[in-house]
Amino acid sequence: MNDLPTLSDPAVSPAAEAPSAPPAPTIATLAQQPLVIAIAIVAILLAAETWSTHNHLRNLREDMAHRLQQNDASNAETGTMARAVQETSKELQAKVSQLEGKQVEAQSQQLALEQLYQDLSKNRDEWALTEIEQVLSTASQQLQLAGNVPGALVALENADRSLSRSDKPQFITIRRAIAKDTEKLKALPSVDSTGVALRIDSVIGQIDALPMLADATLPAPAPVPASAAAAAAVPAPAAKPAKARAGARNEVVGPPVPPASPWLQKVQGAWTEWSGDMWNDVRQLIRVRTVATPDALMLSPSESYFMRENVKLRLLNARMALLSRNETAFRDDLIASQEALNKYFDTRAKATQTVQALLRQVQASNLAIEMPTLSDSLNAVRNYKAKP
């Protein structure tokens, strides 16, 4: 605070007190006046300080209230965020639990797969040899039953290829046996089963068109023209030798022979045509044929149909016997088909002769080929599997 002026302060001018001419103050009055001023100044300062303090306190209260409101809002927001974080953490914990369960399951599956892989790797050779044995056994059965040489060769090649992937010296014995069986199969004579089957199919397709003895008819003679018949009715003059012609030049030519009348030529032509037609009709009424089996002529149309079907069935059985390498049944069916053709069909017809020639070519095929077995390869595989 500012210092209060005193009586001895030179700043107070005596001239200021000059205009008033009060009575001369007493010593006590002069002594109390500065004190009053000081008290007034102090009171003013206290009031100002009180007002300033009051304003400051009010600002503090407002600021505190505002801060409290902000803190409440922040606390509410923080609570909301905390609840969201808690929910998120719960979801994460649930997901973590699921992932842990899946991880445990994956670990168990991985262990199972590792165990299975170890078992497979341990028994891989045994599995491969078992598969090769099964393939070779099937190929051997087909070779003996159906003579499937290409199939057996393919089976041997696949088995050798499977053994070549392992590159183990223990398999050399098996591969040597497989190579030996392969050479045996390649040395076999080839049989054109496909060509023989195609010939049989061609014969089967021609059976329906072959003429039978029961329905065979002689071809009708070609019609003779009227001019040709008239020319045939008039005898042609005999040819004279060269000497006779030369001598005839020196002879005297007699009077010319008059030509026949036109109506006589017409009558001769009509007679010749009528007699020719009559003779053709008579020839059609009576037929004379020599047949070794007379019952073949007595077949009805339905019996002829079944006879054709029977021949076709015989040929189909021969084709099946060919594919199954059954030579006995193949020969028997072909012989029965040939006998039926000779007995019931017209062997003078060109189509029947062609079919018989095809059947003779088919009968000339040799199917009696002894098929080897794949015993060497099978024994080699089984001996290797039997080793401890």
pLDDT digits 0-9 by tens, 176-219? 888 888 888 887 766 667 788 888 999 999 998 888 887 745 44
Per-residue confidence (pLDDT) for residue 295, from 0 to 100: 66
Average pLDDT, the chain: 75
Per-residue confidence (pLDDT) for residue 251, from 0 to 100: 43
9/197 Cα distance (integer angstroms)? 157
Which residue, 90, 120, 150, sits at the end of a domain?
Answer: 120
140/273 Cα distance (integer angstroms)? 77
Per-residue confidence (pLDDT) for residue 287, from 0 to 100: 57
pLDDT at residue 163 greater than cutoff 60: yes
pLDDT digits 0-9 by tens, 301-319? 888 889 899 999 999 998 8
Dihedral pair phi/psi, residue 212, rounded to 5°: -105, 160
Q: Where are the beta strands (DSSP E) in the chain?
A: none
342 in any annotated domain: yes
Co-location of 362 and 377 in the same domain: no
Looking up residue 170, the CATH number of its domain turns out to be 1.20.120
Paired residues of 212 in beta bridges: 345
Between 44 and 289, whose confidence is greater? 44
Co-location of 70 and 175 in the same domain: no
Per-residue confidence (pLDDT) for residue 303, from 0 to 100: 85
Co-location of 323 and 201 in the same domain: yes
Q: How many CA atoms lie within 13 A of 61 on its CB side?
A: 5
pLDDT at residue 298 greater than cutoff 80: no
Between 85 and 373, whose confidence is greater? 85
Per-residue confidence (pLDDT) for residue 218, from 0 to 100: 42
283/214 Cα distance (integer angstroms)? 19
295/194 Cα distance (integer angstroms)? 37
Domain around 178: 124-188+371-386
- What single letter denotes the amino acid at residue 357? A
Co-location of 166 and 311 in the same domain: no
Is 31 in contact with 6 (CB distance < 8 Å)? no
Per-residue confidence (pLDDT) for residue 76, from 0 to 100: 87
Q: What is the mean pLDDT of residues 120-136?
A: 75
Co-location of 181 and 202 in the same domain: no
Q: What angle do CA 100, 106, 112 make, to 5 degrees?
A: 140
Per-residue confidence (pLDDT) for residue 14, from 0 to 100: 43
Q: Where are the beta strands (DSSP E) in 98-219?
A: none
